[in-house]
């Protein structure tokens, strides 16, 4: 593709994406308007109930029901003390956050990364092997490494698609597919999402064990970052070992984000069993934050849901960039995870110190 046609192609794609996003944002915002609004002076999220629990025998039913809507907690004799709160009004705030700002900003972020990669492709084109292929191959990733990568990648892609369907499907797919097919698809997606999460967790643990020693930051990372990895100019190749600073960013995002999304996902898979956020807030409070730590199981679930969605969206955005550079964006990159073998000139341009290490290891000892 010539630079001109690449630019035209990206411009059309960007215009189409912007149009779809604008339509979606308007729709999401319209639908996220609370249809059940908490009354004036309702309990704030995490705050104490506004009305003492002894207030229930009251002169008027209207007053009693208003207090219940405000989140008053009564006493119950059954083991589940949460049953003492008939209406948790702060749930409405949670719902508005999920369907409002989080959905809208998530959508804009997805659009932004698609536009950025599109523009990058239009302006820079495919990053070529500057010296041309040498046709000499060296092994970059062995079978176990590739298995770990594709286990993590395959499951992540399905988790991402089914997760996005849970957030945006009713705006995007429901009107196109109709309720019957959409319900079937979403239900199947939900099962896939629940079960494939375990494959993803295993993949992340494997990738961590296999690659952590190559991802400890070193002095070359600063040079790599200062030169933006040579991504924007031809014939610029800052030195790097097995992984450069950009790849280390991907690795740590996947490990930290992956563990975090897995823990919040486990809370959602086994609802009302764990109190992770209260415990985490207690640790954060060591730095003087004063966060509420005595959360109810319902509040824990709401936080897990919000956290899972936000971390998921951030990871998807990062991984879109990774998929681009690992496939279309750079000549010779995909082979590393495809066959495991890369062209020697590619390796020398992008990972010269690693090639030197491999050659030194292979050289006969004197
Ligand atoms: C179709 C999708 C994908 C493609 C084409 C792809 C491609 C690649 C390639 C070619 C490499 C090796 C780069 C090198 O030789 O240095 C790599 C590494 C890696 N991939 Fe992927 N990948 C995909 C999806 C994913 C997903 C979904 C994840 C995680 C959720 C992931 C995580 C990683 C990590 C952590 C590394 C090592 C660090 C790095 O090279 O950035 N990949 N990938």
Whose structure tokens read 């934050």? 289
Report the atom number in ligand 1 closest to the C-alpha of 258. 30
The pLDDT of residue 90: 76
Q: Does any ligand 1 atom lie closer than 6 A to the CB of residue 336? A: yes
> How much distance in Å is there from the Cα of 205 to the middle of ligand 1?
15
* 330: three-class secondary structure by DSSP: strand
Q: Residue 182: what pLDDT?
A: 97
pLDDT at 85: 87
The pLDDT score that the predictor gives to residue 365 is 67
Q: Is 241 in the pocket of ligand 1 (CB under 6 A)?
A: no
348 lines ligand 1 (CB under 6 A): no
d(CA 43, CA 52) in angstroms, rounded, equals 12
CA distance 155 to 202: 10
- Which positions of the chain have pLDDT values less than 50? none
The pLDDT of residue 248 is: 98
The upper half-sphere exposure of residue 202, i.e. CA atoms within 13 Å in the direction of its Cβ, equals: 12
Look at residues 153, 178, 131 and name the one whose alpha carbon lies nearest to residue 336: 153
| Bridge pairing between strands 137-139 and 341-343 | antiparallel
The C-alpha atoms of residue 217 and residue 249 are separated, in whole angstroms, by 10
Which pair of structure tokens corresponds to residue 151?
């286990």
Evaluate whether 94 touches 305 at the Cβ level (below 8 Å).
yes
The residues, any chain, with a CB within 8 Å of residue 72's CB and separated by 6 or more, are 49, 50, 51, 53, 55, 56, 85
Pair 17, 115: CB distance under 8 Å: yes
């Amino acid at each position: 593709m010539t630079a001109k046609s690449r630019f035209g192609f990206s411009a059309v794609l960007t215009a189409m994406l912007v149009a779809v996003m604008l339509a979606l944002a308007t729709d999401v915002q319209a639908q996220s308007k609370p249809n059940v609004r908490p009354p004036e002076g309702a309990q704030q999220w995490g705050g104490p109930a506004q009305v003492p629990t002894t207030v229930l025998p009251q002169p008027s039913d209207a007053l009693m029901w208003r207090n219940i809507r405000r989140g008053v907690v009564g006493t119950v004799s059954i083991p589940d003390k949460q049953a003492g709160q008939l209406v948790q009004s702060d749930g409405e705030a949670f719902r508005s956050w999920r369907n409002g700002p989080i959905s809208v900003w998530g959508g804009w972020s997805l659009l932004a990364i698609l536009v950025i990669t599109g523009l990058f492709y239009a302006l820079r084109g495919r990053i070529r092997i500057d010296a041309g292929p040498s046709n000499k191959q060296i092994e970059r990733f062995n079978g176990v490494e590739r298995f770990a990568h594709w286990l993590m990648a395959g499951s992540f892609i399905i988790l991402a698609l089914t997760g996005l369907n849970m957030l945006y499907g009713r705006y995007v797919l429901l009107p196109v597919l109709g309720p019957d097919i959409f319900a079937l698809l979403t239900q199947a997606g939900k099962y896939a999402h629940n079960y494939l999460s375990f494959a993803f967790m295993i993949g992340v643990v494997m990738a961590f064990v296999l690659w952590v020693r190559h991802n400890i930051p070193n002095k070359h990372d600063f040079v790599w970052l200062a030169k933006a990895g040579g991504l924007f100019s031809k014939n610029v190749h800052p030195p790097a070992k097995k992984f450069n600073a950009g790849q280390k960013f991907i690795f740590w995002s996947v490990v930290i984000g992956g563990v975090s999304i897995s823990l919040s996902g486990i809370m959602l898979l086994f609802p009302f069993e764990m109190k992770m956020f209260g415990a985490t807030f207690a640790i954060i409070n060591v730095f003087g934050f004063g966060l509420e730590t005595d959360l109810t199981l319902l509040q824990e679930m709401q936080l897990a849901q919000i956290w899972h969605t936000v971390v998921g969206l951030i990871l998807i955005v990062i991984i879109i960039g990774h998929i681009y550079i690992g496939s279309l964006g750079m000549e010779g990159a995909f082979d590393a995870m495809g066959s495991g073998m890369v062209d020697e000139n590619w390796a020398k341009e992008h990972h010269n110190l690693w090639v030197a290490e491999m050659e030194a290891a292979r050289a006969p000892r004197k």
